[in-house]
Amino acid sequence: MNRIIDANLNRTTEALRVLEEIARFNFNDELISLELKNMRHEICTFFDDKYDELLFSRDTQNDVGTDQVNITKKSRQNTTITTIFRSNFKRLEQALRVLEEYASLDSKFRYNAYIIEKKMNERLRMNIKKYLLKDKNLYLVTNSDNFNSDDEFLDAVALAVKSGVDIVQLREKNKPASKIIEYGRVIRQLTSEYGALFIVNDRVDLAQILIADGVHLGQDDIDIHSARKILGENMIIGISTHKPQDALEAMKNGADYIGVGPIYKTPTKPNREAAGLEYLKWAVQNVDIPFYAIGSVDLNTIDEVISFGAKRVALVRAIMNSQDIPGSVKIFKDKLIKNL
């Protein structure tokens, strides 16, 4: 029995410490962090008198469970704050239940864990999009028009994602919904595997169907409030902006990020004049959500864009039309990281 108590006491305190670190360093929440810390200390105090007895009973070398593999465990590449949060709360609650049965630990700890889990989950939902976008600085917008086949197009996207692109927006203005869904299913799998975000252009319905991370709207598309009603609070919503008023409206209405541009005249938007570097300069000084400079940002213009304060860029032709996609991605990533 002591081996069971010892193992589950260790699980309990380890899980509490992991969760305490999330509350402290990810949420900056002193109260929740203190609740978890006090719970950990109180539980340890409860078992103080049994410390030597429990330690003496420990037999890690002969434990038949140490080599067992959890087949449902996610790969480390896909580890996020959310998965760490969820797995450690389940570990905590299960271990506390065992300690109740075998050591008569007060059930108040398990019930308090349920309450704290709900509070932290609400905080997590508020912060998740912030953390999803936190280190995502290279944004690829697709364009399949110049490719000879679907396979050639998807291979290019796959190469970009594998090379380090952080976000992929599926933007195919000239393709029917059925083709966008076909592309989207492949890109959804790719981005999930390599830890990139997947955004669908314009189509809120297709973003839902494809279980995308978000949707990107234009100024003439469905408004942010309506999109939020359909997609819920957890999905990322970005919007293109072309002048300060657009950006101010986007922030007011709850956009998670904005596109700033076009910085330079671009064939991707043939009917739109360049917003210019002055708008970029304004955004650097006034926009308090993530924003991506877009519009003919390429190897010839990236240094100028960065010199005006851009930390994140969105690219189309500079990657999709590149003869060396991995090399181009590396150059852009290196330049952006150097100027963080």
- Side chain identity, residue 243: K
Tell me the DSSP string of 43-84: HHHHTGGGHHHHHHH--GGG-TTTT---TTPPPGGG--HHHH
Indicate the SS3 state at residue 223: coil
Tens of pLDDT, residues 181-224: 999 999 999 999 999 999 999 999 999 999 999 999 999 999 99
Regarding the domain with residue range 135-338, which homologous superfamily does it belong to in the CATH classification?
Aldolase class I (3.20.20.70)
pLDDT at 273: 86
Tens of pLDDT, residues 131-187: 789 889 999 999 999 999 999 999 999 999 999 999 999 999 999 999 999 999 999
Residue 306 CB contacts under 8 Å (≥ 6 apart), including other chains? 335, 336, 339
The tokens describing 15, both together, are 């899980």
Spatial contact of 22 and 119, defined as CB atoms under 8 Å apart: no
Tens of pLDDT, residues 260-298: 999 998 877 777 789 999 999 999 999 999 999 999 999
Residue 253 has pLDDT above 90, yes or no: yes
Beta strand 257-260 with 214-217 is unpaired
Residue 300 has pLDDT above 70, yes or no: yes
Residue 204 CB contacts under 8 Å (≥ 6 apart), including other chains? 215, 222, 227, 230, 231
In the chain, domain spans: 2-131, 135-338
Cα–Cα distance for residue pair 61/58, rounded to 1 Å: 9
